[in-house]
Amino acid sequence: MNEPVLSIRDLSISFKTSNGTVNAIRGVDLDLNKGETLAIVGESGSGKSVTVKAIMGILSGNQEIRSGTIQFRYNRDGEEVHQDLLQLSKKDMRRRINGKRIAMVFQDPMTSLNPTMAVGKQIMEGLIIHLKMSRPEAHERALELLRLVGIADPEKRMKSYPHQLSGGMRQRVVIAIMLACNPEVLICDEPTTALDVTVQAKILELIKNIQAKMQLSVIYITHDLGVVAKVADSVAVMYAGKIVERGTVNEIFYDPRHPYTCGLLSSMPDIVTETEKLYSIPGSPPNLLHEVKGDAFAPRNRYALNIDFQEEPPMFQISDTHYAATWLLHEQAPSMEMAASLKARIETARKEAGEWTESDSWR
């Protein structure tokens, strides 16, 4: 198996708030393989953003890493380096990792560019800092980057200020900034949520093309399953600060095992099935200010078992790549029928896709 570029082990992060300590991330394990696109899906507050901020070393002051490692494997002058990012100081992160090897695209392009600096200068900045380029060299490279992200008339745009660009253009500029130093890993934190639907598709397409061209490994954070289906190779579903299920995109979409994943899929609107009412998961995520006993999802789970309220479920392996943390996969658990509507949905989707043949073992 391809050794992962990034592997997160047992990551726990808590926030100090005026109301007490919030355990936002509670033991996350995650791998990102070279060249693949990993999508992290979950509701807001599930800890997706915090996880990637920990990778970037840009957690805010009240956020504290309780435990865990983030191993980053990269190539420095032909030599393979393993580095636990959590061991690096903020200063070293900025000098060696941020922007240079791991870059991040933020959610809202309207606020993520410096309003008083011309966009060209913002792109050149990373080149001058990390690659020690001279100004003219950086200028050339910035032009090239603007062309790469599909901005017309780059010469003119170099001198523009962010407020003169549309949302889509700004996000392209952000991507250009982040790609400037040829990073190994690109993190996209809901890169299209703040954009128009038509622009969304273009940005997704752009990231996909660039990924292929530059052999990037990409982490996508999103709550939009449509985006996941379009871009991801593998998926990790997060709930209440834990990964509850992960697998390839096909496994997650066609063979979901965790009741939360099933719930998410059922609540996704589509045009194929004619359901009278769109499903929604009852209740809301738990308040992580309080200790979670057992399975955090249990109170919202229609199929909750008694044990769900007492003991946290371990990760059960389903296939080489597919894991889920739910007691329903325990050998003693009663076999559960998937909701009929979701089952029908998956069947149609599978037929349409037509390509998915392996392990259609649904018990």
Partner 1 sequence: MADRSYTESHRPGDFQLADPHARAHVDHTYSNQSYWRDAYRQFTANKGAVIGLLVIVLITLFAIIGPMLSEHTYKSMNIKHKSLAPRIEGFENMPVFNGVANGIHSYKERKLEDVYYIFGTDTLGRDLWTRTWQGTRISLYIALIAVAIDMVIGMSYGLISGYFGGAVDNAMQRFIEILSGIPHLVIVTLLIVVLRPGLVTITLALMITGWIGMSRVARAQVLKLKEQEFVLASRTLGAGSMRIIFKDILPNIFGQIIIMSMFSIPSAIFTEAFLAFIGLGIPQPMASLGSLISESFKSMTIYPYMIVAPVVVLALLMLSFNLLADGLKDALDPKMKEM
Partner 2 sequence: MLKRLVIAAATLLAILLVLFLMLELMPGSPFNDEKITDAQRALLNAKYGLDQPVLARFLHYVGAMLTGDFGVSYVIQKNMPISNMLAGRLPVSIQIGLQAVVLGTAIGLLLGIVAALRRGSFADSFTTFIAVIGVSFPSYVFALGLSYFLGSKYKLFPILYTTSKPLISTVLPTIALSMFTIATVARFARSEMVDVLASDYLLLSESKGVGRRRLIYVHALRNALIPIITVLAPLVVGLMTGSLVIEQIFSIPGIGSLLVTAIQVNDYNVILAVTFIYSVMFIAIMLIVDILYGIIDPRIRLAKGENHG
Q: What residues line the site for partner 2 (CB under 8 A)?
A: 56, 58, 60, 90-91, 94-95, 97-100, 103-104, 106-108, 111-118, 122, 125-126, 129-130, 160-161, 163-166, 174, 177-178, 180-181
CA 87 to chain centre: 22
**Tokens at 327, concatenated:** 């007691």
Nearer to partner 1, 57 or 247 (CB): 247
Cα(266)–Cα(340) distance, integer angstroms? 10
- Closest approach, Cβ 361 to partner 2, in A, equals 42
- Closest approach, Cβ 18 to partner 1, in A, equals 8
Q: Select the binding partner of residue 308 from partner 2, partner 1, none (C-beta < 5 to 8 A, by kind).
A: partner 1
**Tokens at 224, concatenated:** 């939009």
Helix (H) / strand (E) containing 342: helix 340-353
Q: Select the binding partner of residue 108 from partner 1, partner 2, none (C-beta < 5 to 8 A, by kind).
A: partner 2
Q: Select the binding partner of residue 344 from partner 1, partner 2, none (C-beta < 5 to 8 A, by kind).
A: none
Which residues are CB-neighbours of 162 under 8 A, at least 6 positions away?
A: 113, 114, 115, 119, 170, 173
User: According to CB under 8 A, which residues from 15 to 44 bind partner 1?
Assistant: 18, 29
Nearer to partner 1, 186 or 325 (CB): 325
Find the distance separating the first CA and the last CA of the chain, reported in whole Å: 28
Interface with partner 1, residue 115, by CB under 8 A: no
Interacting residue with partner 1 among 310, 319, 321, 359 (CB under 8 A)? 310
**Tokens at 243, concatenated:** 């990964």
Say if CB 130 and CB 179 are below 8 A apart: no
What are the C-alpha distances in Å from 242 to residues 42, 57, 173, 315? 10, 20, 33, 11
Name the nearest CA neighbour of 239 among 267, 268, 263.
Answer: 263
| CA angle in degrees (0–180, nearest 5) for 239-240-244 | 35
Q: Select the binding partner of residue 304 from partner 2, partner 1, none (C-beta < 5 to 8 A, by kind).
A: partner 1
- Closest approach, Cβ 113 to partner 1, in A, equals 21
Nearer to partner 1, 300 or 345 (CB): 300
Binding-site ranges for partner 1 (CB under 8 A)? 18, 29, 282-287, 290, 298-300, 302-310, 314-317, 323, 327, 330, 332-334
